[in-house]
Amino acid sequence: MSDENSSVDLLGIKPIADSVNTVTKGTVDGASAFLGRICLPAAEEFGLLLKDKVSSWRAKNAVKIANKAQHLLEGQFQDLVVSAHPRIIYSTLENGSWAEDDFMQNLWAGLLASSCTPDGKDESNLILIGILSQLTSNQANIINHICENAKVYQSESGYITCERLIMKVDDVINIAGITDLHQLDRELDHMRSLQLVDGGLILDRDNEAYLTPHSLCLQLYARAKGFVGSPIEFYGAKKKSSNK
């Protein structure tokens, strides 16, 4: 087998492509049927046109994600052949194919890459896929920043954690790309409901924000960067004594 084919087999590109076609067809067919029921007969022709364009658009995004995941894996593995569980491939491409911007595609590619193992049976990233599918790009930008800047350490019991992260509200606004404080507050409320962060905006005192990533958030970020291994290794976290 050539080097090119070996590289392609790293993720099993053909099964991924088949999954994209199957998932997209079913999803768009359902939407077309719905439009046909509620719209004028002419909408049926529009639905067929929509089907072709959506299928092509999502397939293009899925291919980009697969290529990015392959690149991440090749940086960590050389001769070792790894693969992902079919449920991971399906869920990643079903959800990730809606992401058009490069930043979000990188996160989806990271989750796909970090799901790959020698036996292809690891399903643990399904939890993280479900979380990422609920995040807006604004929230993902916040997670990217706080996980990059948090002081991460290993607790006495061996869990990954970090110190409280304090930021200026203006900085949070710039990072998230949100100027409406009500929207920003909603986004942070949602992140808290997902158990990703602790804290929020404090506008009546020092115009600061307390946004400390939880362990789940730290693990999501490490996996979304394509890291295959312990988050302790990813962050280079050292043990911190509880003694003061």
> pTM of the predicted model, to two decimals?
0.79
Digit-coded pLDDT (tens) for 11-38: 444 454 454 454 455 555 554 454 444 3
Identify the three-state secondary structure at position 4.
Answer: helix
Q: Return the domain boundaries, the chain.
A: 3-132, 137-235
CATH level 2 (architecture), domain 137-235 = Orthogonal Bundle (1.10)
State which residues of the chain have pLDDT below 70: 1-55, 78-79, 202-206, 241-244
DSSP category for residue 239: B
Cα–Cα distance, 55 to 30 (Å, whole number): 13
Helices (H), the chain: 3-9, 13-38, 42-76, 86-96, 102-114, 125-132, 137-149, 169-176, 181-193, 215-224, 231-235
Please give the pLDDT value at position 50. 57
Digit-coded pLDDT (tens) for 190-233: 999 999 999 887 666 668 888 999 999 999 999 999 998 899 99
Cα–Cα distance, 213 to 231 (Å, whole number): 13
Q: How many CA atoms lie within 13 A of 85 on its CB side?
A: 12
Please give the pLDDT value at position 75. 75
